[in-house]
Homo-oligomer: A and B are copies of this chain.
Amino acid sequence: MSLPYMLLGLLDGHPMSGYDLNKAFNTTVQHFWTTEQSQIYRALHKLEADGWLTVETVIQQDSPNKKLYHITAAGRDALHQWLATPLPEEPAREAWIGQLFFGHLTSNEVVISVLESYVAQLRQRLAALEALQATVPGDMPLEAIPRQYQFQFLTLDYGLELHRFELQWALDAIERIRQFPRDSTNE
């Protein structure tokens, strides 16, 4: 549903190839959207068929030829439309909460050890986001930062704060589970 708009958003301003887009998904936008390379090419073909993109074939000598995708006026319209439309609530699907919910079917120790792996995962992701944040020049006055970057920093801030929240909650949960009664049917 949203992949086409992610592509349009990335292509608005500067044209890119499928390969470039794939790199963008593995770097810049990786904290809120991921895709497989194969899906990018399929989506690009569809977007072109729909008239939201046009292709410019670039012949190269030192590397394989590539196709640069340019956003069309129709594509830009569609993107603006999407940006102004609130998204429908998406279905909940958080399996790790399920593991907690059914925690009574196993021992406190097992639940805690799974939560600890989750904590380790969160710390890693948080560290990655903090590394991203460290690349941001800190000395610039707020007003001097281009509008585009202000929005990007805002989403980065969301990622940072969310991860800090999740980490803290998980650590607290571990402490709470330690106080839970022990399972009598322990193996």
List residues of A whose CB falls within 8 A of some B CB. Answer: 1-2, 5-6, 9, 12, 29-34, 79-80, 82-87, 89-106, 110-111, 113-114, 117-118, 121, 125, 142-143, 146-148, 150-152, 154-155, 158, 161-162, 165-166, 169, 173, 176-177, 179-181, 183
Q: 4 closest Cβ contacts across the A-B interface?
A: A86-B117, A32-B97, A2-B95, A9-B102
Is A92 in contact with B33, judged by CB distance below 8 angstroms?
A: yes
- Say yes or no: A151-B102 contact (C-beta < 8 A), given A83-B114, A84-B114, A165-B161: yes
Q: How far is the CB of A113 from chain B (nearest CB, A)?
A: 8
Q: List 27 A-B contacts (CB under 8 A).
A: A5-B95, A9-B102, A30-B92, A32-B95, A32-B98, A33-B93, A33-B98, A34-B93, A80-B106, A83-B110, A83-B114, A84-B114, A86-B114, A86-B118, A86-B121, A87-B95, A87-B99, A100-B154, A100-B155, A100-B158, A101-B152, A104-B150, A143-B181, A154-B176, A158-B173, A161-B165, A162-B169
A32 near B92: Cβ-Cβ < 8 Å: yes
Judged by DSSP, the binding face of A is: helix
Residue contact A154 to B173, C-beta cutoff 8 Å: yes
Q: Which residue in chain B gives the minimum CB-CB distance to A108?
A: B147
A143 surroundings in chain B (CB, below 8 A): 181
Query: Which residues of chain B come closer than 8 Å to A151, judged between CB atoms?
Result: 100-104, 111, 180
A84: chain B residues at CB < 8 Å are 106, 110, 113-114
Q: Report the bound CA distance from A142 to B33 in whole Å.
A: 41
Contacts of A173 in B (CB 8 A): 154, 158
On whether the beta carbons of A5 and B98 are closer than 8 Å, the reply is yes
Chain B residues with Cβ below 8 Å from A158 are 97, 100, 169, 173
| Given the contacts A105-B12, A158-B97, A92 and B34 also touching, CB distance less than 8 Å | yes
